[in-house]
């Protein structure tokens, strides 16, 4: 055997060894490819692929193309997708603690939202572990406002409006304000507003911008009701199969993605709302009467949440300090 053949042989062996371990993870995302959550998830995926030298390749599938938003949590839990991102507060049926970020008017700005995240993170991680899921990172949506096809000066204006909900809290807010909620994923939003299935919603400027809601909706009220968060989770078995080095690479990339994503959400918050004005939407604050109505329903929902979340919920609020 000459030197060249020997070398070629060992390269082939090396490649075989690498490919025996190399793994590809499809990452399920619910939101548009151009949304900052998805863009940062794509950067996170590329960073993991690079840090592991391709040993673990992560490929993102945005816009609900692998699993729709409402399917992602179950798909990752069952291992149908090894990794995915989900809006945490839509999972309140599994555990009331998942709804803490959407308790109305509890945290209404980025600094408080971060404090609430820090206070609730240990309980979140524990709840996920019970479902054999490994937590990687979590990132907020900007403060939630109210979209309507007509002005909202009184409860009469809202009465009977069809409302697009994304979790139980938004459904109950709508009911408390006299509207008619239906759950619709962000990927189906433009269609829902175009066909009149939805006439109002609570969401951030981010989702209204992604879905060009100015084509259908005339008013945006900057309520700042709460900042819901997405989280990126890994199937427990898939996590357990990884080498320690690959786990460390994922953990490091996740910390990086989380920091970038929080900064991006805050940076884009007012920009999104400027785009509404530029596209002819009316951007306002709620009047005093309506603000009081939102707060009235919000307080009822907070009390109901505290009851459901019990001691664990009270402990999170105590750690949060409010």
List interacting residues with ligand PCA (CB under 6 A).
Answer: 87, 141, 166, 186, 203-204, 206-207, 228
CB-wise, 230 or 235, nearer to ligand PCA? 230
What is the nearest approach in angstroms of ligand PCA to the Cβ of residue 312?
A: 24
What is the nearest approach in angstroms of ligand PCA to the Cβ of residue 4?
A: 58
CB-wise, 166 or 220, nearer to ligand PCA? 166
CB-wise, 42 or 213, nearer to ligand PCA? 213
SS (H, E, C) the chain: CCHHHHHHHHHHHHHHHHHHHCEEEEEECCCCCCCHHHHHHHHHHHHHHHHCCCCEEEEEECCCCCCCHHHHHHHHHHCCCCEEEEEHHHHCCCCHHHHHHHCCCCCCCHHHHHHHHHHHHHHHHHHHHHCCEEEEEEEECCCCEEEECCCCCCHHHHCCCEEEECCHHHHHHHHHCCCEEEECCHHHHHHHHHCCCCCEEEECHHHHHHCCHHHCCCEEECCCCCCCEEEEEEEHHHHHHCCHHHHHHHHHHHHHHHHHHHHHHHHHHHHHHHHHHHCCCEEECCCHHHHHHHHHHHHHHHHHHHHHHHHHHHHHHHHHCC
CB-wise, 35 or 60, nearer to ligand PCA? 35
What is the nearest approach in angstroms of ligand PCA to the Cβ of residue 155?
A: 23
What is the nearest approach in angstroms of ligand PCA to the Cβ of residue 227?
A: 8
CB-wise, 60 or 230, nearer to ligand PCA? 230
What is the nearest approach in angstroms of ligand PCA to the Cβ of residue 205?
A: 8
CB-wise, 47 or 187, nearer to ligand PCA? 187
What is the nearest approach in angstroms of ligand PCA to the Cβ of residue 299?
A: 21
């Amino acid at each position: 055997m000459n030197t060249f053949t020997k070398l070629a042989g060992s390269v082939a062996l090396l490649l075989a060894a690498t490919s025996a371990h190399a793994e590809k993870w499809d990452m399920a995302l619910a939101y548009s490819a151009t949304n900052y959550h998805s863009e940062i998830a794509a950067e996170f995926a590329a960073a993991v692929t690079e840090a592991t030298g391709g040993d673990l390749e992560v490929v993102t599938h945005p816009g609900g193309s692998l699993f729709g938003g409402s399917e992602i949590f179950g798909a990752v839990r069952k291992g149908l997708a090894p990794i995915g991102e989900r809006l945490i507060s839509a999972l309140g049926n599994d555990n009331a603690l998942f709804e803490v970020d959407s308790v109305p008017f509890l945290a209404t700005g980025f600094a408080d939202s971060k404090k609430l995240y820090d206070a609730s993170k240990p309980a979140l991680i524990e709840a996920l572990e019970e479902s054999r899921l490994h937590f990687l990172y979590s990132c907020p949506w900007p403060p939630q406002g109210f979209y309507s096809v007509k002005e909202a000066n009184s409860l009469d204006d809202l009465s009977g409006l069809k409302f697009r909900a994304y979790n139980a809290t938004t459904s109950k807010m709508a009911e408390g304000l006299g509207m008619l909620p239906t759950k619709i994923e962000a990927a189906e939003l433009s269609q829902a507003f175009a066909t009149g299935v939805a006439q109002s919603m609570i969401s951030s400027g981010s989702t209204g911008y992604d879905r060009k809601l100015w084509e259908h909706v005339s008013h945006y009220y900057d309520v700042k009701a709460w900042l819901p968060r997405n989280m990126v989770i890994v199937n427990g078995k898939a996590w357990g199969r990884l080498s320690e080095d690959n786990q460390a690479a994922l953990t490091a990339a996740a910390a990086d993605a989380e920091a970038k994503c929080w900064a991006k959400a805050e940076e884009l918050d007012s920009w999104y709302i400027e785009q509404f004005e530029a596209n002819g939407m009316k951007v306002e604050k709620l009047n005093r009467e309506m603000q009081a109505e939102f707060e009235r329903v919000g307080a009822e929902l907070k009390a109901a949440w505290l009851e459901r979340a019990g001691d664990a919920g009270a402990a999170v609020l105590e750690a949060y300090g409010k």
